[in-house]
């Protein structure tokens, strides 16, 4: 972000446990999941429709919009909610705003029980008093000259949300803006959470200091000197970080079909997984939280577990990598981990029941990862005799694989999955990105398990086909041609995807080989990013038109529509059914 001004492109999907189920401490932001739009209220494309989007925000007292007067214009307008230290200082000095800085630390010298919630109530009362005394800007800050091990910082999201809700309840929210001056914010999701729960702007002072130290480090200097990294100044590094955050915020706004940050501020468009009723009622009232979770005291302990690391000599030498993004030995648990992969590979290669049993035992004893892992079958009925159960040969015909492009998982893997599913009578999914026409014909040139048509696969048989029965039509339309559509048993319109709802597919440039570029009608090395919405689907009627068109191209194929489960998905699905979709996934 500091080097190029861009968000890092990750592989999509997240295989670590939910924060409430994790054995590791998590920041409060990790208990919140962003909501998103699909079909009837489609996402906006921030890359191609940026003209209608804005991050502009006003600071100060807001009057009645129905009463025209000069006092309503007495505000400070910011081009974005991302502030640097100089911009924050200017706001603090503004005589009209009468800014009030409120420290956000809680004292645990008398014990941790009750310390966090008592401090929050005091913070809310202090904010209330400041606004009644004429302050139009409340700056909630965890910045201090001297940090103490017994005075941890309140999670800034909790502090902002609690003050936001308190002012609303007392009828004072329109009289002042909230700005967070914090070390606890460095990713786009964290900015979105703070803004979504009431902050008008955020000064990420530690993130900016990290950019400065990164630029001055000998490693960075050497990389720039050797031409392995673009040369940037200290000022440019900080500007690049802010630029990346702004682009990320636009993308997050676009997921909900929102074009203005002012519409997102305080909108609370999140679902909460793992916070108890007392926390939600105080700070996040109105947000969906169906499973309960942490109490104030448990959250205080989790916060303290991070805080005390700052006073350890080990931390002073090297920051701990918690393994939240990539697997690290001793770090956060990942469902797709090296041990699991090794056991599965061994069972497949040896074709051994005992090796497969070990693999099954590993899966059965793994840590709880998602909510469904907490469910168990409960029945007092006698088991059905196996002889009365539908045979396996007919059951597997209903199996479908996930929609993953060969650009994401490699050509060999993609073709092997397709061959296997065709042998079973199930359906593999092409994913986004087209398919090589040579895969549509049955093999007739197999000798000793090898075919010149698919030279990188082994164990083949004459009559095998590597075609994907389900051909996907995604928003980028990469590789989608009439012949591609005509060679399908099922055509899938991907509206949204669970791994990245509200976003389009992203294939990093280094994965776009000459072969993949040919299939996608692109150029090698160019990142391929699909828009969040289908630009021809902005209503159920538009979706019905695309379904009709696909039926005309391939009358024999069923047309399915892929959605993502969320609150209110039944309403969306009923609309998709009226659009004449054969299958709703």
Q: What is the mean pLDDT of residues 99-105?
A: 96
Question: Residue 125 falls within a domain, yes or no?
Answer: yes
pLDDT of the residue at 405: 85
Q: Is the pLDDT of residue 240 over 70?
A: yes
Helix (H, G, I), strand (E, B) or coil at 472: strand
Q: What does the alpha-carbon distance between residue 166 and residue 178 come to, in Å, rounded to a whole number?
A: 12
Q: What is the mean pLDDT of the chain?
A: 90
Instruction: Determine how β-strand 583-584 pairs with β-strand 57-59.
Output: unpaired
Which residues form the domain of 540? 395-584
Residue 278 domain-assigned (yes or no): yes
DSSP H/E element including 215: helix 205-216
Please tell me the total count of domains within the chain.
2
pLDDT above 70 covers what percent of the chain?
97
pLDDT of res. 535: 81
H helix or E strand, kind and range, residue 278:
helix 277-283
Q: How far is CA 25 from CA 13, 307, 335, 363, 392, in A?
A: 21, 11, 18, 23, 43
Last residue of one domain, picked from the residues 248, 283, 309: 309
- Which CA distances in Å does 161 have to 157, 166, 178, 198, 468? 6, 9, 10, 6, 48
| Phi, psi dihedral angles at 539 (to 5 degrees) | -165, 170
- Domain membership flag for residue 295: yes
pLDDT level of residue 538 (50, 70, 90 thresholds): confident
Distance, in Å, from the CA atom of 492 to the CA atom of 151, rounded to the nearest integer, reads 54
Assess if residue 380 is contained within a domain: no
What pLDDT does 188 receive? 92
Domain final position from 309, 334, 355: 309
> What is the rounded average pLDDT of the residues 561-565?
86
**Residue 45 shares a structural domain with residue 157:** yes
Instruction: Determine the pLDDT at residue 314.
Output: 66
pLDDT computed for residue 9 by the predictor: 64
Residue 566's pLDDT band, with cuts at 50, 70 and 90, is confident
Q: Tell me, what's the pLDDT at 166? A: 96
Lowest mean pLDDT among 9-18, 280-289, 433-442, 455-464: 9-18
State the Cα–Cα distance between residues 155 and 23, nearest whole angstrom.
Answer: 19
pLDDT of amino acid 425: 92
Residue 365 domain flag: no
pLDDT tens across 273-299, in order? 999 999 999 999 999 888 889 999 999
CA dihedral 349, 353, 358, 360 (to 10 degrees): 100
Residue in this structure with the two tokens 């940090």, named with its chain if needed: 147
3-state secondary structure 478-501: CCCCHHHHHCCCEEEEECCCCCCC
Tell me the per-residue pLDDT of 454-481, one tens digit each, with 9 for 90 and over. Answer: 998 989 999 999 999 999 998 888 889 9
Q: Please report the pLDDT score of residue 144 as a whole number.
A: 92
Question: 502 is written with which tokens?
Answer: 């509200």
Both 282 and 400 in one domain: the answer is no
Q: What is the pLDDT of residue 234?
A: 92
The last residue of one of the domains, among 244, 277, 309, is 309
- For the sheet containing 490-494, what is the strand order? 470-473, 490-494, 558-562, 583-584
Residues 410 and 521 reside in one and the same domain: yes
Confidence of residue 70 (pLDDT cuts 50, 70, 90): confident
* Residues 105, 304 contacting (CB under 8 angstroms): no
- pLDDT of res. 1: 86
C-alpha to C-alpha distance for 533 and 49, rounded to whole angstroms: 11
Q: What is the CATH number of the domain that holds 254?
A: 3.20.20.70
**Each residue's pLDDT tens digit, 316-355:** 677 788 888 888 888 899 988 999 999 999 998 888 899 9
12, pLDDT greater than 60: no
Q: Return the residue matching tokens 């029945």.
A: 379
Residues near 485 by beta carbon (within 8 Å), at least 6 away in sequence: 471, 473, 491, 550, 553, 554, 557
Q: pLDDT category, 201, cuts 50, 70, 90?
A: very high
């Amino acid at each position: 972000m500091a080097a190029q001004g861009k968000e890092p492109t990750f592989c999509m999907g997240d295989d670590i446990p939910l924060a409430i189920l994790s054995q590791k401490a998590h920041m409060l932001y990790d208990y919140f999941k962003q909501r998103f739009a699909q079909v009837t209220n489609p996402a906006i494309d921030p890359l191609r429709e940026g003209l209608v989007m804005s991050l502009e925000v006003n600071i100060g007292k807001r009057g009645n919009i129905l009463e025209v007067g000069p006092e309503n214009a007495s505000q400070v307008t910011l081009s974005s909610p991302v502030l640097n230290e100089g911009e924050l200082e200017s706001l603090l000095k503004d005589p009209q705003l009468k800014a009030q800085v409120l420290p956000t630390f809680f004292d645990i010298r008398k014990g941790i029980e009750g310390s966090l919630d008592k401090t929050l109530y005091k913070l809310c009362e202090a904010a209330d008093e400041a606004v009644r005394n004429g302050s139009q800007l409340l700056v909630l800050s965890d910045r201090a000259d001297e940090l103490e091990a017994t005075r941890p910082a309140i999670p800034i999201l909790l502090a902002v949300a609690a003050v936001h809700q308190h002012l609303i309840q007392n009828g004072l929210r329109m009289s002042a803006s909230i700005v967070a001056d914090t070390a606890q914010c460095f990713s786009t999701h964290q900015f979105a959470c703070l803004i979504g729960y009431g902050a008008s702007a955020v000064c990420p002072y530690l993130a900016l200091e990290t950019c400065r130290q990164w630029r001055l480090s000998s490693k960075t200097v050497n990389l720039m000197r050797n031409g392995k990294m673009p040369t940037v100044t200290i000022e440019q590094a900080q500007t690049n970080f802010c630029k990346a955050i702004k682009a990320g915020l636009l993308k997050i706004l676009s997921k909900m079909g929102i074009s203005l940050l002012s519409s997102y501020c305080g909108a609370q468009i999140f679902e909460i997984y793992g916070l108890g009723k007392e926390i939600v009622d105080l700070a996040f009232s109105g947000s969906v939280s169906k499973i309960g979770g942490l109490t104030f005291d448990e959250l205080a302990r989790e916060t303290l577990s991070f805080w005390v690391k700052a006073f350890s000599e080990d931390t002073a030498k090297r920051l701990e990598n918690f393994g939240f993004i990539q697997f690290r030995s001793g770090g956060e648990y990942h469902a797709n981990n090296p041990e699991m992969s090794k056991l599965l590979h061994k069972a497949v290669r040896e074709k051994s029941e005992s090796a497969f049993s070990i693999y099954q035992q590993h899966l059965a004893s793994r840590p709880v990862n998602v909510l469904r892992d907490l469910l168990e079958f409960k029945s007092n009925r006698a088991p059905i005799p196996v002889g009365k159960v539908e045979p396996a040969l007919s059951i597997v015909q209903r199996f479908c694989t996930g929609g993953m492009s060969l650009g994401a998982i490699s050509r060999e893997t993609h073709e092997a999955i397709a061959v296997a599913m065709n042998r079973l009578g199930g359906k593999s999914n092409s994913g986004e990105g087209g398919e090589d026409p040579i895969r549509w014909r049955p093999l007739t040139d197999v000798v000793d398990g090898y075919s010149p048509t698919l030279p990188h696969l082994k164990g083949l048989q004459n009559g095998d086909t590597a075609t994907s029965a389900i051909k996907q039509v995604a928003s980028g339309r990469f590789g989608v041609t009439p012949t591609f559509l005509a060679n399908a048993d099922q055509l899938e319109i991907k509206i949204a995807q669970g791994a990245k709802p509200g976003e389009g597919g992203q294939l990093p440039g280094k994965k776009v080989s000459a072969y993949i570029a040919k299939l996608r009608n692109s150029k090698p090395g160019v990142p391929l990013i699909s828009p969040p919405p289908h630009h021809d689907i902005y209503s159920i009627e538009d979706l019905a038109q695309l379904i009709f068109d696909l039926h005309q191209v391939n009358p024999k194929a069923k047309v399915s529509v892929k959605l993502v489960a969320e609150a209110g998905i039944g309403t969306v699905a009923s609309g998709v059914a009226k659009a004449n979709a054969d299958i709703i996934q």
